[in-house]
Structures are given as structure tokens and as C-alpha cells.
Structure 1
Amino acid sequence: MALPSTSYKANAPQNRPTRREQTKHEFGRSIGLTGASDPLLCAECAPANHSYWHFRWSDADPRLNPSLLRHLSRPARRTAPDLRRSGAVRVPRATNDEAFVPAAVPECIILRERWREAGTVIVDLEYPFAGRWLVRNSPANRVPSHGTALFASSFAIDFVPVDVAGRTAPVNTRSLFTPEPPGRFPGFGRPILSPVAGTVVGMHDGAPDHEAYRGLPSVGYALTQRGRATEGWVALAGNHVMIETPDGVVAAVCHLQQSSVRVQLGHTVRVGEPLGRCGNSGNSTEPHVHVQALDRADVPNATAVPIAFRGRLPRNGEIIDAEQTPEEEEPR
């Protein structure tokens, strides 16, 4: 459906869309952006020559994800200064259920705005670690982030510990053909901290840390994943801690090192309090920490809750250098 001509700002250029832009508009309408119209140049950002998309959030297909929105936007040459707030681009609102979506807005911000527009609860977490960690399987890149919605994992995210050069364990001929001991990886055993304040409502500490699988071994390991999923949540999460916040959202921190969990059911924990250590238990190919949020502790029947970290959602390949220092406490 095309918007009436009055939707255009009077002082904005009235350029006709190119064939490429028209194709993208047709694609937008085909996936549920029924309000998608010709590119609009709103007055406040016309000097920066930003291309905007005008649509109703309520009309968007729920399957829409950031990568689709990225392809629907023409890259802008620069960002108008008045569209920046605390280093992040804001989405200008037209009405309560309409928006101008600038091409320069990062996909993760568009995703977060869409969740908020839909009335979805977003839990803001602290990073559950200190030091340098590499982002993988982020919901800022795709949803479901791990390719499945099983066990409420649609918005889960992984963090892989890396060294000062941003590397995990070095890859050599042996690692391409044989499994590796988890202790070979720089982050194995790093402290894992609580991302929220709340009450421990679930935990497991008895799963072994198995070998790491890269190269050809990872192929064989992937073939056994269905069996682990059949066994249930613990087989996938390995050693883990689940913390319920005062708002009723449950944060799960998974793949901890065997016998490292320092909390018990019913314990109250603070943000940054040590939970355990980074391990390679459960459905894991190398030492890392998996974080997800749920609406209840009954994982098989839970619904995934979108997450953010310090108000934003990092993308795949980004290295997080967390400044938080773990508390030094005696194990309970």
C-alpha cells in the first residue's frame, strides 16, 4: 500500500525510487510490511540524504528479523548529528505505531525497537564475565539465534573467551583432525559471574567437561546433537545456573566447568557475584558461556525472553572487553 503524497515532508527531495529500491519495497510488502512505501526523506535528516522506510510495526510479520531489515535499507553516506543519542542512533517516531527506519540504524537497535513496540519484555543483563570474549550466535544477527527455538533458546547468545590478541586456542594440524583437551583453550576455568540479581531457581554441577571439537571432529559431534536434545535440557546446558529476577524473568548461564558452581538452590545472588567457571559441559564444541532468558524455570514449557547487555545487543564477531571484576569469595 502506497502512502499518500502528504506523508512526504514538503522541503524533502521528491526523488523517484530506483529500480533496486523498488524491488526492495516489493520485497518488504511481501514479508508483511504493509505500510512500506517509497523511500522517504524526512526534513530533520534530509541534509544527510538518509533513506527512510515508513511502515506500521503492528503490520510487520513476526518472522521479520534484522537481516531482512538490513536488506530493505539503502546504506546512508553519513549519520545526521541530531539522530545520535549517547552514541546510538535513535528511531524517529511518526505516530504511536508508525516509524521512520533509517538505513544507518544498526540492526540490533531496530530489533530492540521492534520488540519494545510489540510490548515484549526485554531483560537488560550485565556481562557474566571479566576480560575479553568473542560474540557468537547473537540474536542481533538472526532469530532464532541458534537455529532453533527448542528449550526457549530463540534469543540466546554465546561468548567465547579469547586472549589479548582476540584468539582462542591456536589451530594446528592436530586440532583439524582430533579432539582437543578443554584445558588447551585460554578461557577454560575463567570466573563466570551473575548477570542479574535474584534467586537461584535451577542449577546443575555434575556434568563432565568433554573434549573440544574443531575441524573434522566438529562434524561428527554435530551428528550427535539430536541425541542430546532428546535427553533434555541438562544434556544441552551442561552445568548451569538459573536465576529468577524480581520481575519473574529467569536468566540461564550454561556450560560451566564441572564442580565449579558456587551457589545452591534458593540462594540470593547479586550482580557480579561468582557463579562458577567457564567450562565445556553439555552441548559445547569448545569452552564458552551460553546465556539466555526465559519467562519461567520450567525450561521445556518456557518462552524465550529477548535480552540486552548494558542496553545494547552485540553482534557476531564483536569482542567484548568487560571491565567488571569478579568478587573474591570463598566457595559456599
Structure 2
Amino acid sequence: MLTHSGKSSNLGSTDTFGKIVPVSCFRCLSLSSSSFLDDKSAKVFVSGHRGLVGSAIVRKLTQLGFSNLIVRSHAELDLTRQSDVEAFFASTKPEFVIVAAAKVGGIHANNTYPADFIAINLQIQTNVIDSAYHNGAKKLLFLGSSCIYPKFAPQPIPEDALLTGPLEPTNEWYAIAKIAGIKMCQAYRIQHKWDAISGMPTNLYGPNDNFHPENSHVLPALMRRFHEAKVNNAKEVVVWGTGSPLREFLHVDDLADAVVFMMEKYSGLEHLNVGSGKEVTIKELAESMKEVVGFEGDLVWDSTKPDGTPRKLMDSSKLAAVGWTPKVSLKDGLVDTYKWYLQNISW
């Protein structure tokens, strides 16, 4: 039942609890023995279950037959309150924990409320990770974001680009908190020999995405604009820039699949990138979106407006090396997301 409760180094990699070993050993030493899928009645706490990521993880686990999922709304459990989180873990004793809860927002929000973005995310992470460990959880997966990497990281971005240069100033506070989450998992693994791992997803989209006209990301923003243009019989949709920048997108259901894979198969000190490995130009994305939505007007590019970062692609080869690859094509993912949009957002 669902209880209502949110590069590769040339020198070597690391074994389960931090010892440096040759690169050739990476695969075998990264395989987990947690047996996550062996007991579908195990108690699994998914924090942030109402968000884009958490809701997809709950859907996936439910489809797999997990019968003892633990979720809590913010009203039921404020993850920033240490004593409340400690009491929750002491009473529920989850065996597996997936940290998908986070305070997120766009450029304006990050610039306006930097203290909130660093403090709230640090509080959530610290409380959940520490309480999970002290209450006997077998394994924990912490989910971060591609924004952890330097603004001028090499492309595609490898895991060891972390902390090699300055961050993008517009999301620095959020990124620093997420980096701290990775390091906290590594510290608990090294000191306590506890199975805490981290995954860093690329740009995500899918059901439960944010379609707000003022602060949504490029993919849901384009979907909403094309839909509104269609229903209003607009003659054109104007998009900023030239359409040349390259971006990577991953359907959130693929991320949920990767989460299950990592919980079952991966146990390593290093965080792993989780991406589709496929690039698309913003122009290609917009043209695909126009087709999926059924907008018959013109697509116009305003080249007087900025393009933004020319390329952002994650190197997810390490996760592929231990056996996981995405399944949802961009076209299929857009169709799925637009169907959800029509049923839940459009009016």
C-alpha cells in the first residue's frame, strides 16, 4: 500500500568505500549487493514525491510492485526541521531512501532568495541523510543537478569536472548546496561504510513539470507557448535567439528507471551523471514541439535576442558502463508530456 507521507581519471576510480583502485576495476567494484528489487515489501521513503522527479519515482516503484512506499507532503513533514525528520525516521525506519526533495527555481528566484536556496537545500539534505543513516537505512540515493558543474566545464561534462572552476552565478547557491549533498554522501560512505550514492540528472521534462509562463524551463515553456498559440489561432510563435544552441533532455520516466537501476546495481563513491547522451538544437526542439502540439502557424526566430550557452551535454558513459541506458525518445517523450499537459494544465 502507498502510505501518505516527497571524466574519468587516468589514475583510477574508487571502490565501494573510497579506496583508490585501477580504472580497469571500475565496473566490478561499482556493482551493488543491496538487493533493492528482491523485496518489494521493503519500506522505501521517497522525499519530494509531488514534484517532477519524486512523482516519477513513485510511479515507477508502484509499477514494479513495491507495496510499502513512504511519502509525506510538506504539510505532514517539514524536511527542514531536524527534530521532525529525526522523529519521522525513528518511527518509520525506512530501509531505502531516495532524496528527490529540493527547493528549486529559476534565475530570478535564485537571485532574489539566495539564502533560501542554500539554507533550505542544505537543511533538507543534512536532515534526511543523517537521519537515514542513524536509523538503519540500508541504502540512500541523493539526486542533484547538472548545475553543480563549472560554467565553462568541458563538453560533454564528465563527473570529474566537479569543483574545477567557478559556477554559473545565476544558480550558484543551489549548486553549492547540491555539491555539499554529494560530498556528504561520500563522507558517510568513507567514515561509516554506509551505502550512500549520488546521481546527477541532465535537463528533465515530463508529467508534473513546471509550465508557469514566468519561470519554466525551455521545454515546458515552448510547449505552453505553442499550445496557447494554437488555441488562440495565432499566426506565429516568436522564439528568442537563432535556435543553434545544443541541449540534452531526459524524460523523467527514464530518470526513474535509472534510479531503480542505481539502487539495485550501483555502489560507488563517485557520483554518476544521468543523461540521454543525445543533443538537440533549440531549433530542432521547437520544430518537434510545433508538430506534437499541432500548431500550424509560423515559427519565427528573434536573432536580436541572446542564445545563451552554446552547448550543454553530460557525459553519462560511466552509468552506461555499468549497464543503464535511456529508453524514451525525445519525440515519444514530447507526446507523453503534451498528453499530460492537456489533461492537467490546459484549460
Which range, TM-score by smaller chain?
under 0.3
Instruction: Name the structure with the higher helix share.
Output: 2
Which of the two has higher C-alpha Rg? Answer: 1
Higher strand proportion, which one?
1
